[in-house]
Chain A
């Protein structure tokens, strides 16, 4: 049992990267507009995050140093600060969206307006961070979030034309009223989501929280190779469901209710109940991941004591940062801004943060001072460089595409 639970860090990290509120809606939206013609991007993203998360996990196991230590150490304090600001903003904006997502899940389940659920959601997120043991937090929300596999079950139940779905997946081009600019925009959105910086911040800091040593290299790797592919599968299942249900009818997806509709259609009330618990767990888990990452990034840049592995009073500034972020998130949401729209804006900062986050990881994973004999082999380096180039391309194209397509319209 311990072995099974030992991969929940990877699962929870992946949930925050692949099926948080922003991705739930984006995946559903993409399925409704492009069918599975963008499925390949999810697969490319899974490979990329597996590659780099493994490097982070290895660095943590061999040296105990989390990602932001590496970023400041290799890029220097000034470029490190730039990376900090950009990635912190992405993470904070996502935190805002996730707390909103938790409230939206409550709204769907209860019918009570999400704004009324907001303060409770924010408080609950903080309370879990304050009191719950890291491994417990990761197990509970990681496993509960896996209930989203009900989307895959629903997909089977909907009885799709698998040949048609395969046909779509193997043809990477826009369809219907879509053109290459929206196709490229959503490709970058999906890729950026799969490799979003807070995934590696959370994963590597989680490795320190779990006190990984070089004996845990295998554990670190299992976390990566179980967690992220699972996340990718969940992503694709959601995309497939809306591809089957909404694409033929030309219905656009914009609300959480529409995202969960395929499950209700295929599996009825029980399916709906399960998916709502899954959505709650995934968004709550992502809220925990992003809130903790807000604390991790700043504390690791400055060298403060951080982590749930010490008493809160021994990591005071770390906890204060998270409290401030959660309060900020709640206040922003109370202005009734659309939580999902908030993640759109984070694309801008993600563009800046992505290459600067991943370059130091690639460099340090090759450094014998950090990883001893476990340096990257030439194949890993080749892939690492290719993905770094992809990230740079995505970064450069993100903002122009966002402007051209007016945010994907």
Chain B
């Protein structure tokens, strides 16, 4: 599947409600070893934002200037991290998870990039 197709997709919780949209895909370089003697980039999970319209501009990380970061986060709404194991299905136009909105963990709860 293409990344550009995945980005922006609606994310639906276990009740079928729209939680937000896919803003980015977290990759970890610990997948199977490739011919090039490097590990493959494993899809670890999805970064989901409440308001789908805005780009992250790199501000899912804690970098400056602070005013811009706050502005972007204000526009994004909540930012959650959805581990791949919690992704139930990818349908034609949405990503579904078995979790409900209240179960989700905010992005900062995981290891800081």
Query: A368 is contacted by which of B63, B65, B66, B67 (Cβ under 8 Å)?
Result: B63
Q: Is there an interface contact between A363 and B68, defined as CB atoms closer than 8 Å?
A: yes
| Any A CB within 8 A of the CB of B73 | no
Q: Is there an interface contact between B63 and A366, defined as CB atoms closer than 8 Å?
A: yes
| Any B CB within 8 A of the CB of A175 | no
- The 3 A-B residue pairs with the shortest CB-CB distance, nearest first, are A381-B65, A366-B64, A366-B63
Q: Is there an interface contact between A384 and B65, defined as CB atoms closer than 8 Å?
A: yes
- Chain B residue total in the interface (Cβ 8 A): 9
Q: Is there an interface contact between B63 and A385, defined as CB atoms closer than 8 Å?
A: no
In chain B, positions 33-88 with a C-beta closer than 8 Å to chain A are 55, 57-58, 63-68
Considering the chains assembled together, what is the distance between the CA atoms of A381 and B64 in angstroms?
Answer: 8
Q: Is there an interface contact between A376 and B57, defined as CB atoms closer than 8 Å?
A: no
Among A363, A367, A378, A382, max chain B CB count under 10 A is at: A363
Considering the chains assembled together, what is the distance between the CA atoms of A362 and B55 in angstroms?
Answer: 16
Query: A385 is contacted by which of B55, B58, B68 (Cβ under 8 Å)?
Result: B68
Closest to B4 in A: A77
Chain A residues at the B interface, C-beta cutoff of 8 Å: 74-76, 362-363, 366-368, 375-376, 378, 381-382, 384-385
Q: Is there an interface contact between A367 and B58, defined as CB atoms closer than 8 Å?
A: yes
Q: Is there an interface contact between A74 and B58, defined as CB atoms closer than 8 Å?
A: yes
Q: Which residues of the partner chain B approach A363 to less than 8 Å between Cβ atoms? A: 57-58, 68
Considering the chains assembled together, what is the distance between the CA atoms of A382 and B66 in angstroms?
Answer: 10
Q: Is there an interface contact between A362 and B65, defined as CB atoms closer than 8 Å?
A: yes
- What are some 27 contacts across the A-B interface (CB < 8 A)? A74-B57, A75-B55, A76-B55, A362-B65, A362-B68, A363-B57, A363-B58, A363-B68, A366-B63, A366-B64, A367-B58, A367-B63, A368-B63, A375-B64, A376-B64, A376-B65, A378-B64, A378-B65, A381-B64, A381-B65, A381-B66, A381-B67, A382-B65, A384-B65, A385-B65, A385-B67, A385-B68
Q: Which residues of the partner chain A approach B55 to less than 8 Å between Cβ atoms? A: 75-76
Chain B residues at the A interface, C-beta cutoff of 8 Å: 55, 57-58, 63-68
Q: Which residues of the partner chain A approach B64 to less than 8 Å between Cβ atoms? A: 366, 375-376, 378, 381
CB distance from A356 to the nearest CB of B (A): 13
Known contacts A362-B65, A363-B68, A376-B65; can you find 9 more A-B pairs with CB under 8 A?
A74-B58, A75-B55, A362-B68, A366-B63, A367-B63, A368-B63, A375-B63, A381-B65, A382-B65
Q: Is the interface of A mostly helix, strand, loop or mixed?
A: helix
Considering the chains assembled together, what is the distance between the CA atoms of A378 and B63 in angstroms?
Answer: 12
Considering the chains assembled together, what is the distance between the CA atoms of A376 and B68 in angstroms?
Answer: 13
Closest to B67 in A: A385
Q: Which residues of the partner chain B approach A362 to less than 8 Å between Cβ atoms? A: 65, 68
CB distance from A73 to the nearest CB of B (A): 9
CB distance from B88 to the nearest CB of A (A): 29
CB distance from B24 to the nearest CB of A (A): 12
Q: Which residues of the partner chain A approach B58 to less than 8 Å between Cβ atoms? A: 74, 363, 367
CB distance from B9 to the nearest CB of A (A): 16
CB distance from A360 to the nearest CB of B (A): 9
Considering the chains assembled together, what is the distance between the CA atoms of A363 and B67 in angstroms?
Answer: 11
Among B55, B57, B67, max chain A CB count under 10 A is at: B57
CB distance from B18 to the nearest CB of A (A): 23
Considering the chains assembled together, what is the distance between the CA atoms of A363 and B59 in angstroms?
Answer: 9
Closest to B56 in A: A74
Q: Is there an interface contact between A366 and B57, defined as CB atoms closer than 8 Å?
A: no
CB distance from B69 to the nearest CB of A (A): 9
Considering the chains assembled together, what is the distance between the CA atoms of A122 and B65 in angstroms?
Answer: 43
Considering the chains assembled together, what is the distance between the CA atoms of A383 and B58 in angstroms?
Answer: 21
Q: Which residues of the partner chain A approach B57 to less than 8 Å between Cβ atoms? A: 74, 363
Q: Which residues of the partner chain B approach A74 to less than 8 Å between Cβ atoms? A: 57-58
Considering the chains assembled together, what is the distance between the CA atoms of A74 and B64 in angstroms?
Answer: 14
Q: Which residues of the partner chain A approach B66 to less than 8 Å between Cβ atoms? A: 381
Considering the chains assembled together, what is the distance between the CA atoms of A299 and B64 in angstroms?
Answer: 29
Q: Which residues of the partner chain B approach A376 to less than 8 Å between Cβ atoms? A: 64-65
Considering the chains assembled together, what is the distance between the CA atoms of A366 and B64 in angstroms?
Answer: 6
Q: Which residues of the partner chain B approach A367 to less than 8 Å between Cβ atoms? A: 58, 63
Considering the chains assembled together, what is the distance between the CA atoms of A384 and B65 in angstroms?
Answer: 9
Considering the chains assembled together, what is the distance between the CA atoms of A34 and B94 in angstroms?
Answer: 61
CB distance from B106 to the nearest CB of A (A): 22
Considering the chains assembled together, what is the distance between the CA atoms of A76 and B55 in angstroms?
Answer: 9
Q: Which residues of the partner chain A approach B63 to less than 8 Å between Cβ atoms? A: 366-368, 375
Q: Which residues of the partner chain B approach A384 to less than 8 Å between Cβ atoms? A: 65
Closest to A382 in B: B65
Considering the chains assembled together, what is the distance between the CA atoms of A384 and B64 in angstroms?
Answer: 12
Considering the chains assembled together, what is the distance between the CA atoms of A211 and B63 in angstroms?
Answer: 28
Considering the chains assembled together, what is the distance between the CA atoms of A367 and B55 in angstroms?
Answer: 16
CB distance from A237 to the nearest CB of B (A): 35
Closest to B55 in A: A76
Closest to B72 in A: A363
